[in-house]
Amino acid sequence: MNQAFDLKQLLTDPIVAALARAEETAWFAAKPTDTAAGLDASGIDPAIIEDARARFGRFALWFAQHFADTLATDGILESPLVNIPAMQAELGRRFGAVLPGKLWLKRDDSLPVSGSIKARGGIHEVLEVAERLAIAAGLMAPGDDARVLDAPEVRQLLSAHGIAVGSTGNLGLSIGIVASELGFNTTVHMSLDARTWKKELLRARGVNVVEHEGNFSDAVAAGRRTAEADPSVWFVDDEASLSLFAGYSVAGSRLADQLTALDITVDAHHPLIVHLPCGVGGGPGGVTFGLKAAFGDAVHCVFAEPVNSPCMSLGVRTGLHDGISVADIGLSGLTAADGLAVGRPSRLVGEHLQQLIDGYVTITDERMKAFVGLLHDTENIDVEPSAAAGFAGPWRILKDESYRAAFGLDEAALANATHIIWSTGGSMVPAAEMADYVAEGQTMASEITWR
């Protein structure tokens, strides 16, 4: 991880220099990579998508029994896809450019159980560990209905095992809620700046929350050490876990189902352009993998990061991946975007998936907050700042003629485009804290202009 590099040389790149100044940036791939070639180059077997989807299916009845908010989806963890025309029109007015096509919001802020993009991955890995232990003990057969895990002898087995994770908040929340429900001894390592209400919620469920003075990477390292010291503890590694990645990837095929149900076509003449919030990169990376497997070259994925913690943009742009941290270029890593305050990117995503990612956009906290206020005012939808990270992305694409030309996004294609802002975090935020987010955002309307 500790690669040697010449910082002065890196800063000769205007994008890296802008990142170091905590300025908003937008940069895109120079040319497209054939999806089949990109998936092959990733070294990741697309079969993990269907395997994870089947696992969620086996647990559907278990979720329906244990979590009332999954009853509406028959125990399947999925979020709505909603058209937001009023937000699209108002952003077009403020940015001074009409966005062709239609703007949608993928509402992972209201995903059942823990309300964030991190839920699919974190929950999936916990489910996989539970199945593996029960099968190894002869208490479950492969393919069994997961309600067998409620048997006293299985709960006794799981209670003798631990789950540990390092998290800025949302991943720890999803893992803590489900792991504790299954009976695991669960420990979540969090940085001190993680939201207090998330720590309190986890502790109320019997989860051991350990706070660290350092950043996200320090919390992850602490969780890893815990697992290494105790073979009965399984560590969920947000920086490199393939099981997490597989859980995230299911979102691609599920989105395909939703678009089909809405009679929305996705092909070369009807592009799908998806803007994903990025912290360490595992969530958006897994979703991108699933989207590419579902839609091929017709989908374009763009990562959105805070200006003070653009770890994935920095890692990919320099080619150093997890060998460089935002602290190395003088950034604090601190941001109001809960879940995106990460200094060093996922090596799994940066090294293996960069050919499938179209671009990277960074955004100030002030602008994210302004989008929160505007989304409330135009659509009566409330989200936390991290969930609004992608809203500038579609207009950044409009301004980049070379990217549009290279990727075939001409006027005709954009007129038929489906733009999706992928949301995360919101439904579990305490009402008073959410009201503060909205009120603060409403005072920042001037931030929604081109600078």
* Residues 181 and 66: beta-carbon distance below 8 Å: yes
Last residue of a domain, one of 221, 241, 261: 241
Lowest mean pLDDT among 65-74, 288-297, 337-346: 337-346
Residue range(s) defining the domain that contains residue 218: 118-241
Structural domains of the chain, count: 2
pLDDT at 2: 53
What 3-state class would DSSP assign to 215?
Answer: coil
In a domain, residue 210? The reply is yes
Average pLDDT of the residues of the chain = 94
Pair 268, 334 in one domain: yes
Q: Which residues contact 88 (CB under 8 A, 6 or more apart)?
A: 99, 102, 103
Pair 440, 350 in one domain: yes
Pair 261, 209 in one domain: no
pLDDT band of residue 250 (cuts 50, 70, 90) is very high
pLDDT at residue 3 tops 80? no
pLDDT at 354: 94
In a domain, residue 1? The reply is no
pLDDT at 35: 97
Give me the mean pLDDT over the 105-128 stretch. Answer: 94
Pair 320, 189 in one domain: no
Q: What is the pTM of this model?
A: 0.95
Task: Write down the residue that tokens 């999803």 correspond to.
Answer: 174
Q: How far is CA 394 from CA 20, 103, 365, 410, 451, in A?
A: 24, 9, 18, 14, 16
